[in-house]
Amino acid sequence: MDLVKALFGWKGLAAACGVCLLAGTFAGHKVEAWRQGVKYSALVATNAKGMQDYSDRAYRAETAQREEGERRQDEKDTIQNEARDRIAVIQADAVRAAGERDRLRGQLAAFTASHRSAGADPAAGAGGPPAADSLDLLAIMFSESDDTAGILASALDRSRDAGLTCERQYESLKH
């Protein structure tokens, strides 16, 4: 009977309340732990999705950057190849011009020789030596001016082509 009295008395009531309080606290902690676990799982899933999205964007950006670099390099290579072709044409023109220059110099030498011999001919009359000196001077001046013109033309052709190539490369990289 003592036990029944103890169970139904104030001590029993206090003990029952204590047990209920402990059970409630334990259950509350369990529920809270479960809720936090759900929140944590959701947070982990969101973070994993965010990391995957970031990784995908970074990969796409890297791929786009690489493709743009390759496009620019291809365009630059094309421009340089075209410049090499133009330089080859310019050099062929210079060789052709040098051949023409040599032909004209040969004609000038023949003309000078024929007029010099005509100036030395006693039947040609007086005044031969000064005319021959003037003719030699003109031939030398023509030859030197032709050499200078060839050198200047070659340098100007190269610098113009280099400038145009540089400009095309700059324009291709701007876009």
- Mind listing the pLDDT tens digit for each residue in 53-87? 889 999 999 999 999 999 989 988 998 899 899 88
Residue 119 has pLDDT above 60, yes or no: no
pLDDT of residue 58: 92
**How is residue 12 written in tokens?**
């029993």
| Summary mean pLDDT of the chain | 80
Cα 134 from Cα 142, distance rounded (Å): 12
* Average pLDDT, integer, range 101-118: 79
Residue 122 banded pLDDT, cuts 50, 70, 90: low
Indicate whether this model's pTM tops 0.75.
no
Name the residue with higher pLDDT: 108 or 128.
Answer: 108
Residue 34 has pLDDT above 90, yes or no: no
Cα 44 from Cα 42, distance rounded (Å): 5
pLDDT of residue 42: 80
The residue ranges of every structural domain in the chain are 2-174
Cα 170 from Cα 147, distance rounded (Å): 35
DSSP assignment of the chain: -HHHHHHHSHHHHHHHHHHHHHHHHHHHHHHHHHHHHHHHHHHHHHHHHHHHHHHHHHHHHHHHHHHHHHHHHHHHHHHHHHHHHHHHHHHHHHHHHHHHHHHHHHHHHHHHHHHHHHHH-GGG-S-HHHHHHHHHHHHHHHHHHHHHHHHHHHHHHHHHHHHHHHHHHHHHHH-
Longest dimension (CA), the chain: 175
pLDDT of residue 12: 72
pLDDT, one tens digit per residue, over 130-150 is 556 777 777 788 888 888 888
Name the residue with higher pLDDT: 13 or 47.
Answer: 47
pLDDT of residue 97: 85
